[in-house]
Amino acid sequence: MPPRAPFGRRLAAAIDTYGPLCVGIDPHEELLAAWGLPSAADGVREFALRTVEALRDVVGVVKPQAAFFERFGSPGVAALEETIAACRAAGLLCIVDAKRGDIGSTMGGYASAYVGEDSPLAGDAVTVSPYLGFGSLDPLIEQARATGRGVFVLALTSNPEGAQVQHAREANGTSVAARIAAEAGHRNAAELEAGEPLGSVGLVVGATVGSAPRDLGMDLAAVGGALLAPGLGAQGAGTDEIRRVFAGAEHAVLPSSSREILSAGPTGLAVVAQRVQDGLRDLRRSDGGTSD
């Protein structure tokens, strides 16, 4: 197999081709029932595979939420593995939303599982938690870069509890969120200097956090990686909110929507996804970036 191109390059190409929308694959109880599927591993598998097939050639990126598969044990994990393989076959970049984080050899184990070359759980990128120290992520980041995969680091989430950690400040006044953004930028520097359009290390920043990035001193434009932005649609964020949160870094934003699109059902989700995608077409022009 030829070497995989760096994740940032592949993501930038997908955005150029299809637009910046990422669709979350979140087969929770209510959606399974609405689709007429059982609350079981077989139902989750059917839900995910039908979603992947419907989104082929409509979007470039999808994001299966691992928890909704894992809750059914080994059959659910097998369904996640099959979903990841189906994404690859359909030409969709797959971000596995697993939010893993640990230290030492345990982090190395997660790295092998989610970004290792031969792992069936390895998509194109994985979400991780940095709250054991950003440096604890380095084994996974290094392996992701070696296999042409990406990492999205939780930085500024929309849940109220997140502020206890993310808004906290170091002795010098730097917020935890700003530190995470700066550390991600540091790890992307070499790839950007080599001419890559985006680095392998992105951030997760909620699309509904308003002015918090500026209030907390985050320089999102300097991160150099993609900015995964959950909250588009059902959670209340539209393009105006995205521009407010990511001012100056709109070209790097990957807005994510799940419920608004998945609620359309298996026969309508591609139509809704295309409508949302069309609404995002001019987003990258906002800070002078290119657009289709």
pLDDT of residue 291: 38
In-domain check, residue 2: no
Mean pLDDT of 27-31: 95
* From 9, 28, 71, 99, the catalytic residue: 99
Tell me whether residue 23 is in a domain.
Answer: yes
Q: What is the mean pLDDT of the chain?
A: 93
The DSSP element (H or E) to which 53 belongs, if any, is helix 41-55
Q: How does pLDDT run across 152-187, given as a tens digit for each residue?
A: 999 999 999 999 999 999 999 999 999 999 999 999
Q: Is residue 249 scored above 60 in pLDDT? A: yes
> Is there a domain that residue 168 lies in?
yes
| pTM of structure | 0.94
In a domain, 119, yes or no: yes
- What is the pLDDT averaged over residues 112-130? 97
Give the domain extent around 51: 7-284
Q: Say which CATH number the domain at 26 has.
A: 3.20.20.70
Q: Which token pair is 213?
A: 């990035």
pLDDT tier at 288, thresholds 50, 70, 90: very low
User: What 8-state DSSP symbol labels residue 96?
Assistant: E
Residue 74 in domain: yes
Q: What is the pLDDT of residue 165?
A: 96
Of 144, 107, 139, the C-alpha closest to 126 is: 144
- Mean pLDDT, range 273-292, rounded to an integer: 68
63 tagged catalytic: no
In a domain, 203, yes or no: yes
For the segment 208-218, the average pLDDT, to the nearest whole number, is 93
pLDDT at 287 over 70: no
- Section 246-264 average pLDDT: 92
Is there a domain that residue 1 lies in? no
Beta-carbon contacts of residue 58 (< 8 Å; ≥ 6 apart): 18, 270, 273, 274, 277
Question: Stretch 242-254: mean pLDDT, rounded?
Answer: 91
CA neighbor of 52 nearest in space, from 26, 77, 87, 91: 87
Q: Which of 148, 202, 211, 198 is nearest to 180 (CA)?
A: 202
Number of domains in the chain: 1
Positive or negative torsion for Cα 88, 92, 95, 98: negative
Residue 110 has pLDDT above 70, yes or no: yes
Examine residue 207 and state whether it is found in any structural domain, yes or no: yes
